[in-house]
């Protein structure tokens, strides 16, 4: 397993969206093209070496049939998940995927046409449609939201579990290392939140809603139990601080609204961010 970086996943998602939009006709007729140009690059961004049979085996043969992909954890002989691939715009047979999982004792299966991804827990004691534990659409969802959700199926020891924070060993945003954050007043000062929000907006190519700022913040922070403790609003402490910071920055004219509840950094905000970075260097 190699290091997994949110920014790298986001970049791959953006390329995949471009390919879908440019080759929609071809992709809707050719499953092999979907695998090669949409599914395989996304799996690689999540730490899966698609050329290593110890991690990924296409057309994996079992008694019940032939799943399109089988994913293997390090040094494990039994798959940890199956993937069902389809042409763009097509639907996978979920019953067939459950049969594959039951046949081999595999807990998770993923179905995708390269654009829509759905993750299921085959052993969840629910009706079939309620076995779904995550989903995202490349063309519709925010790339950072997709990146965080997709860590659920990344090549990490936490496969199948939604992480409180990503398991990363590379760098993000302006080459700065992600730092562990404690939201107690002594360790998570307002300047840290201010810098985080301003940096996210400066690196975005489009205005971001408050929700998108929160999602990107979550992807970049390593949070402790205190940070995840809910406030009176029901939101975790770290999220409350980020949301409040957006309001504060607007009042200081460091960010401004574009459209409905979407924000961009102002020139004043960029200068302020430079000053913060100079003081911390």
Rounded Cα gap, residues 23 and 21, in angstroms = 6
Question: What is the DSSP secondary structure assignment for residue 172, as one 8-state letter?
Answer: B
All structural domains of the chain, each given as residue ranges with its CATH number in brackets, are 6-153 (3.90.1570.30), 180-280 (1.10.10.10)
Look at the block and give the residue holding tokens 């398991």: 167
CB 266 within 8 A of CB 254: yes
Residue in 111, 86, 110 with CA at minimum distance from that of residue 31: 86
Closest-CA residue to 120 (of 102, 138, 140, 142): 102
Q: What is the pTM of this model?
A: 0.67
What region does 271 belong to: left with phi over 0, alpha with psi -120 to 50, or beta? alpha
Q: What is the mean pLDDT of each run of 10 residues along the chain (281 residues)?
A: 70 95 96 97 95 95 93 89 96 90 93 97 89 93 85 88 48 41 44 85 88 84 75 85 91 90 93 82 58
- What is the secondary structure of 20-48 as a DSSP string? HHHSHHHHTT-HHHHIIIIIHHHHHHTT-
**Cα(64)–Cα(96) distance, rounded to whole angstroms?**
9
Q: 207-264: per-residue pLDDT in tens?
A: 999 988 988 888 777 667 777 788 888 888 888 889 999 999 999 999 999 877 899 9
- Give dist(CA 32, CA 15) in Å, integer: 18
């Amino acid at each position: 397993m190699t290091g997994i970086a949110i920014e790298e996943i986001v970049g791959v998602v953006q390329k995949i969206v471009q390919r879908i939009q440019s080759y929609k006709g071809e992709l809707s007729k050719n499953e092999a093209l979907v695998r090669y140009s949409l599914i395989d690059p996304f799996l690689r961004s999540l730490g899966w070496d698609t050329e290593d049979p110890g991690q990924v085996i296409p057309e994996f043969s079992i008694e019940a049939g032939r799943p399109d992909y089988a994913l293997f954890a390090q040094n494990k002989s039994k798959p940890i998940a199956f993937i069902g691939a389809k042409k763009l715009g097509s639907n996978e047979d979920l019953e067939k995927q459950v049969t594959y999982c039951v046949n081999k004792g595999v807990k998770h299966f993923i179905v995708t046409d390269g654009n829509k991804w759905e993750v299921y827990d085959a052993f969840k004691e629910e009706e079939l449609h309620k076995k779904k534990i995550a989903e995202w659409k490349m063309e519709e969802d925010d790339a950072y939201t997709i990146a965080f959700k997709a860590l659920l199926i990344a090549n990490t020891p936490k496969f199948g579990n939604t992480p409180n924070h990503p398991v990363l060993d590379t760098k993000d945003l302006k080459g700065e290392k992600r730092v562990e954050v404690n939201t107690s007043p002594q360790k998570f000062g307002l300047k840290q939140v201010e810098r985080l929000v301003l940096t996210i907006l400066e690196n975005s190519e489009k205005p971001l809603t408050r929700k998108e700022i929160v999602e990107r913040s979550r992807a970049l922070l390593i949070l402790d139990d205190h940070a995840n403790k809910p406030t009176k609003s029901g939101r975790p402490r770290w999220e409350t601080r980020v949301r409040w910071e957006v309001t504060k920055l607007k009042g200081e004219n460091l960010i401004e609204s574009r459209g409905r509840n979407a924000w961009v950094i102002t020139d004043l905000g960029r200068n302020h961010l430079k000053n913060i970075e100079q003081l911390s260097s």
